[in-house]
Each structure stands twice: as C-alpha cells, then as structure tokens.
C-alpha cells in the first residue's frame, strides 16, 4: 500500500495565475496528495441554486496533469450567508435566548432540517460532478464536524422534547430519570421541558446529560446522512473526515456511530512544539479516532507552522510525521500550503510564506515526502492487531465535565494516563466502546469509568466471566446511565465482579489535610500534597489527588499503600477471568507497573526494548521502525544487524539516531 503526503490548498484565496506555480511547487516537494474544497461552499454556490464550478474544474485539471490525487472535501461548513437568510432555524441562539449573528465559521446548527436540505443537495451535486474525475482520490465529509456551539433555539427545544418522548415514552419516566422531585423541578407534561442551561444558571446533572446526548445525536445523524449521500452518489470512492467529535463544548459520540460513517479514520493533528515534553504526542484524541476501524489513519490536517510561529525546532514536524506512521497513519496533509493573507488564520504559518515563496517548512515537508516514498516500499501503513483495549465513553466524559468538583481528572486525562503506559512500553492498543466492542482482547482497561450503564456492566461481566482480564481505576461506576449516584455498593453493578466495596475515599492534597510526620510531600503549582508509597519488590511513589478505601469481599490484596495500611490494587477471580481494581485515579506509574506484571501472565507480546526517548515498532517480520522523539542523539541497541532504509547504511549492534530522526532497519 502507498503512503500519502501533501497539503491543504485553498485555490479560491489566490489568483488563477498562481495555481500553476503552486501545483509545480507541490510536485517538486514530492507531494502525492492535496486536500481541496473545504471552507468555501459559497465559492461553488454563491446564491441559492446558482453554481460556479468552472473555476474549480481548472484546478482539478491542473492536479490531474501533475498526478497529484485530490481529497475533495464536501464543503458544507461554514454555511453561506444566503443559507442563514433562508434557514433562520440554523442560526445559533445563545443561552440567554438571543440570536447570534454568524460572524465567523461554525455558527450553524447542522441538525436544522432547512440547513440539511441545502447542504445535502449541494453535497449530491458536488459529488456527482467530480466522482469520476481523474484527479479525484477520495472525498472528505466536510470540515471539523462536531466543532461549533450549541443552539438553544425554540426549534431545538421542540426537537429535544420529541427526542425525550422517544426515549422515555411517559413524562413519569422522565421525572424519574431526571430526579425532578429534587428542588421542585417536577414536570407535568413534556411541554414543560426547558433546556437545563440559560444565561444565569446550569441545571441538574441528569437533564444536562440528556441535553448533551441530544446535541450529539443531531450532529451524528447529519454526518451519517452526509456519508450516505457520498456513498450513494460515488460508490467505492474512499472517504474520510477530520471531525472534531471530542470538542469540549459540543462534539458528538464518535464511538456510538463511527461504524455508520467512517471509511478511513481521519483527524486534524496539531501537537504543538513542546517537543521537550516527553509525551507531546498525547492529548489530541488520536487513539480515540482509530477505534476498531482496522484501517490506517488519515491526518487530513497536519501541523506546518503555528499561530504567530513560523516553525519549531527543525526536524520536529518530520519527527511527528514519523511518529504518526508508527501509530498507524497513512496520510499526512500539512495545514496549510500557503500562509493566508486575510481572515481568522492570517498568522497561522504555512508550508510556503505569505509572499508565496518556500520557507523552512517547505524544506522539512520535502524531507517527509522523501522519507515516505522510501518507507512505502515496505510494510507501511502499519496496522497492528492490538491485544489490549481501553474503554472510552462520551457519556462518561459528560458526567466528569459536570462533576468537576468531585472528579479531579477529565476523561481525556484518564485516557492519556493510560496512553502514556503503552507509549513507554512500545505497545499498541485500541480505544473501544463497551456497547459495541468488535474484537477479542487479552486485557481491557477502564480508566476512571465514572458512568456505568447496565448494558456496559453486562459487557464487562461477560468479558471477565469468559476469561478476560480487566483493570478498572478509582472513580469508576459511581453513577448510572441517568447520572445518578448508585445506591448500591460501588463499583455499581460490578461490585461482585471485582469482589470489593468502595467504602470511602480521600484526597492527598485537601486543604484540611494534616500530613503525617514521615509523609513524602510535594509542592508545586498544583498545590501541596502527599505522595503515596506503593508496596512492590522495589517500592515506588505515585502522585495522585484521589484514592479510595477498599473493603475486600471476595477479592484479595494484590499490592498496598503500606503507609496507609490500605489496599492499592485488588484482584478477584470471576468466572474464567480476573478483575483488578486500582484504588487511585488513573496514574501512569502505577498502571505501567501493573501492566508489566500482567504481560507474562497474559502472554502479551512485549514491545521493543529501547532507550528512553525512542519509539519503536516491528511493523513486519524483520522490519523495525525507530523514531527519536528528542532533541538529542540516542544510541539504540539492535537485536540483529540490518540495513537502514532511510540512510541506506548497514548497521551492526547499534543505530545512532540523530535528534528528531527516524530509521527503518530491515534484517537480511
């Protein structure tokens, strides 16, 4: 299979005379792919029903002549001004009730039927026009679906009421789910339903959760309609999407619907330039988007420069590209080709400068292209079959967001804590939804899985009973699917599987804490707190904010917090499997210790042992790929002598990797 390298290009921003120069510069850089068409619906349809595709036909012909494949985005966001005029229901209404003028991008409600009519009509016309064009490589499902803001319009309130009627049937069931007896919020009919947010206050956790689910479903249903339109009009043409499902203010439940709209998983990848930070790869939702697609990642946008920053340390972007290849990427498209002269991103620096001339970023992308051309002759794209799964839930994310005073870590931070474990161990994992898990795994991790529905609990129970091994960390199974705290022993619905009762909890940095004389204390920008010592062959300390008191029932203590005389990790035999419970919030140090203990027990394939600062994978038998993620040269011991594909050198016992560089060693 091939690897794809290129850029995002906005020909509608530049004079026609410039197009040919840009295409030639891309070809000289070794680019194979370009993404076009996004953010410019009104350049194709300036008025309702008036189409001006002829200018874009010229662009497509230029790329066809250059043998550069086009990922054609089906541009439906931002909506043109004329759409907002014709469809007032798509306008954003603030919590206070005021209509917000669409003064910048992503200020349209994509769930509005009027908006969808014009957007999907345009999508069908665009796809049919270019589906057989020789330049076409794939379609993009619009740009950053899931970003934007919630609209509290009356139209949406009425749709919310219908959504609730469908879910609960009777208002009595809704009252029960929302605990409306609390503080006199009882509803006499569905017509009484209001959005649980306004300009002055935020309501209770139960209706807030359902509101976020409602907005998620509206976006998800639209994305599926778009995918169905593209596939109906252009069957067998690949497609992807740089969606923003994890956008904190809006977003949508990706793992609920990804099977219904994803062909190739896609994203916009912007890690920044904090390359001295060991885990700079984390935090962008990369692993979440891969899910269980069993296909490589398409980075439809990839960092070139930054806002007000032309470039970082030379080689850092190349390193990030190689790191993505090691983590299942197939496509790298820089954002953006040329630094823009106007608009909201006029100082976001591109691959070529404002003056249209190549910059240091151009040279670096040229090197990325040269590397990828060599690497694609081997076992790339790398698409492993992981033995480990990490569970994630949109509902869990919403519960944690609402309960911020209780939950120290966000769901994203919990996922990152686990991601760091496998980053350090050079092992792969899949991020999964418990409700629609596809594959079998030897190890399942539930990091601070706060909300536990009956369906999810049943899935965990069956997994363990059938012989699986699960690790669950503190905070887990605190609330049910309505965001109400369990009245039964925690972890709710699973206390028998884990063989414990969470009898209480404590915090290491509470204001009223009176630290013991011999406690190890740390103080930094996060405040003053106690480190917890973990009993092990070589005892170690963990820095956490929250930990729990476990009452062991059928479980036994696996390890302890000896200074507290408390269980740190319990293990319970259940059915044919084992359930481990970690009595602290998700912590990389403790989880890495536990996973390392389980690797031989479960027969997990070990990652390649390398010095700190090196990431490595065996992408195929006799092919090992190494990436130096630091700004220092590192000597990497080799298990066998081999040939370096990128340097075209022979190596014996040691590979010396330069800062931010990579190498594929092929054994003879």
Cβ-in-10-Å burial (0-12, 13-18, 19+) of 526 comes to: exposed
Residues 463 and 512 in one domain: yes
Could you tell me the maximum CA-CA distance found in the chain, to the nearest angstrom? 78
Within a domain: 186? no
Residues 498 and 561 in one domain: yes
Residues 338 and 432 in one domain: no
User: Strand 540-542 and strand 527-534: pairing?
Assistant: antiparallel
**Rg of the chain in Å (alpha carbons):** 26
> Is pLDDT above 70 for 284?
no
Among 394, 446, 99, smallest CA distance to 243 is for: 394
> For residue 521, what are its two tokens?
């204390």
> Is pLDDT above 80 for 654?
yes
Residues 33 and 98 in one domain: yes
Within a domain: 607? no
Residues 217 and 360 in one domain: yes
Within a domain: 197? no
pLDDT above 90 coverage of the chain, percent: 90
Residues 591 and 635 in one domain: no
Residues 254 and 301 in one domain: yes
Question: Rounded mean pLDDT of 603-624?
Answer: 97
Q: Is the peptide bond before 155 cis (omega within 30 degrees of 0)?
A: no
What does each C-alpha distance from 398 to 196, 206, 290, 372 come to in angstroms?
14, 10, 21, 39
Among 479, 480, 469, smallest CA distance to 604 is for: 469
> For residue 133, what are its two tokens?
């064009």
Provide the residue count of the chain: 668
* 420-455 per-position pLDDT tens digit: 999 999 999 999 999 999 999 999 999 999 999 999
- Among 549, 572, 602, give the residue marking a domain's end: 602
| DSSP secondary structure code for residue 66 in this structure | T
Mean pLDDT check: name the lowest of 61-75, 200-214, 274-288, 409-423. Answer: 274-288
What are the backbone angles phi and psi of residue 197, rounded to the nearest 5°?
Answer: -145, 140
- Would you give the end-to-end CA distance of the chain in angstroms? 22
Residues 365 and 392 in one domain: no
* Structure confidence at residue 206 as a pLDDT band (50, 70, 90): very high
pLDDT averaged over every residue in the chain: 95
- Among 375, 410, 444, give the residue marking a domain's end: 375
> Is pLDDT above 70 for 283?
no
pLDDT above 70 coverage of the chain, percent: 99
> Is pLDDT above 80 for 159?
yes
Contact 151, 86 (CB under 8 A): no
Residues 568 and 624 in one domain: no
Residue with tokens 């059928």: 554
Question: Rounded mean pLDDT of 202-228?
Answer: 98
Residues 340 and 469 in one domain: no
Q: Which residues contact 464 (CB under 8 A, 6 or more apart)?
A: 470, 497, 574, 575, 577, 578, 579
CATH number for 623? 2.60.40.1180
pLDDT score for 388: 98
- Top-confidence residue, 296 or 306: 296
Q: How far apart are CA 114 and CA 540, in angstroms?
A: 60
- Among 581, 602, 623, give the residue marking a domain's end: 602
Within a domain: 161? no
Note the pTM of the prediction, 2 decimals: 0.96
pLDDT score for 497: 98
pLDDT score for 361: 98
* 372-385 per-position pLDDT tens digit: 999 999 999 999 99
Within a domain: 128? yes
CATH number for 470? 3.40.50.880
Among 175, 212, 169, smallest CA distance to 193 is for: 175
Q: Which residues pair with 623 in a beta bridge?
A: 620, 666
Residues 392 and 531 in one domain: yes
pLDDT score for 524: 86
Within a domain: 292? yes
Cβ-in-10-Å burial (0-12, 13-18, 19+) of 389 comes to: buried
Contact 325, 382 (CB under 8 A): yes
Residue 276, domain extent = 4-153+204-375
Q: How far apart are CA 54 and CA 125, in angstroms?
A: 14
If one counts the domains in the chain, the total is 3
Within a domain: 578? yes
> Is pLDDT above 90 for 259?
yes
Residues 368 and 418 in one domain: no
Q: Order of strands across the sheet with 540-542?
A: 520-524, 527-534, 540-542
Among 245, 249, 193, 246, smallest CA distance to 219 is for: 245
pLDDT score for 408: 83
CATH number for 87? 3.20.20.80
Within a domain: 422? yes
What are the backbone angles phi and psi of residue 478, rounded to the nearest 5°?
Answer: -90, -40
């Amino acid at each position: 299979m091939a690897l794809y390298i290129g850029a995002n290009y906005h020909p509608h921003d530049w004079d026609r005379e410039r197009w040919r120069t840009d295409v030639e510069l891309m070809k000289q850089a070794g680019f194979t792919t370009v993404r076009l068409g996004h953010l410019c619906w009104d350049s194709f349809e300036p008025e309702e029903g008036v189409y001006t595709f002829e200018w874009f036909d010229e662009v497509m012909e230029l790329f066809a002549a250059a043998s550069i494949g086009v990922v054609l985005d089906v541009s439906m966001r931002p909506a043109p001004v004329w759409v907002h005029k014709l469809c007032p229901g798509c306008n954003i209404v603030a919590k206070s009730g005021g209509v917000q003028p669409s003064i910048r991008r992503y200020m349209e409600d994509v769930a509005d039927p009027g908006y969808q009519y014009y957007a999907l009509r345009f999508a069908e016309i665009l796809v049919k026009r270019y589906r057989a064009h020789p330049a076409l490589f794939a379609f993009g499902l619009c740009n950053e679906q899931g970003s934007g803001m919630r609209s509290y319009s009356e139209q949406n309130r009425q749709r919310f009421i219908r959504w609730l009627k469908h879910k609960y049937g009777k208002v009595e069931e809704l009252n029960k789910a929302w605990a409306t007896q609390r503080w006199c919020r009882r509803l006499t009919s569905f017509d009484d339903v209001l959005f649980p947010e306004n300009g002055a206050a935020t309501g209770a956790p139960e209706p807030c959760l359902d509101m976020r689910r409602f907005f998620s479903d509206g976006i998800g249903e639209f994305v599926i309609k778009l995918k169905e339109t593209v596939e109906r009009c252009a069957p067998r043409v690949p497609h992807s999407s740089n969606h923003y499902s994890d956008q904190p203010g809006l977003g949508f439940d990706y793992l609920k619907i990804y099977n219904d709209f994803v062909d190739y998983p896609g994203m916009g990848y912007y890690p920044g330039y904090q390359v001295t930070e060991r885990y700079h790869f984390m935090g962008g939702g990369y692993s979440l988007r891969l899910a269980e697609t069993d296909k490589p990642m398409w980075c439809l946008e990839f960092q070139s420069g930054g806002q007000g920053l032309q470039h970082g340390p030379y080689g850092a972007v190349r390193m990030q590209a190689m790191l993505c290849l090691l983590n299942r990427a197939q496509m790298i498209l820089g954002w953006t080709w040329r630094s823009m002269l106007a608009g909201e991103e006029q100082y976001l620096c591109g691959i070529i400068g404002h003056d249209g001339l190549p910059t240091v970023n151009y040279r670096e992308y040229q090197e990325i292209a040269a590397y990828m051309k060599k690497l694609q002759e081997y076992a790339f794209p790398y698409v492993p079959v992981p033995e480990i799964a990490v569970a994630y839930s949109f509902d869990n994310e919403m519960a944690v967001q609402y309960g911020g005073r209780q939950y120290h870590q966000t769901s994203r931070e919990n996922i990152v804590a686990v991601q760091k474990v496998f980053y350090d161990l050079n092992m792969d994992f899949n991020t999964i939804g418990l409700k629609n898990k596809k594959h079998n795994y030897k190890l399942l991790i539930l990091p601070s899985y706060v909300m536990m529905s009956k369906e999810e609990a049943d899935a965990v129970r069956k997994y363990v009973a059938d012989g699986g091994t699960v690790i669950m960390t503190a905070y887990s199974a605190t609330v049910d699917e309505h965001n109400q705290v369990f009245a039964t022993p925690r972890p709710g619905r699973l206390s028998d599987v884990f063989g414990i009762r969470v009898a209480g909890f404590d915090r290491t940095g509470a204001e009223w804490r009176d630290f013991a004389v011999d406690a190890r204390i740390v103080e930094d920008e996060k405040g003053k707190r106690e480190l917890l010592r973990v009993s092990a062959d070589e005892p170690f300390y963990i820095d956490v904010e929250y930990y729990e008191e476990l009452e062991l029932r059928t479980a036994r203590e696996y390890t302890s917090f000896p200074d507290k005389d408390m269980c740190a990790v319990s293990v319970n035999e259940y059915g044919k499997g084992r359930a481990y419970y970690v009595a602290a919030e998700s912590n990389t140090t403790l989880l890495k210790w536990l996973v390392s203990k389980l690797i031989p027990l479960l027969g997990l394939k070990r990652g390649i042992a390398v010095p700190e600062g090196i990431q490595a994978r065996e992408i195929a038998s006799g092919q090992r790929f190494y990436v130096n993620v630091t700004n220092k040269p590192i000597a990497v011991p080799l298990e066998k002598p081999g040939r370096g594909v990128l340097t075209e050198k022979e190596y014996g016992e040691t590979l010396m990797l330069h800062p931010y560089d990579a190498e594929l060693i092929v054994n003879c």
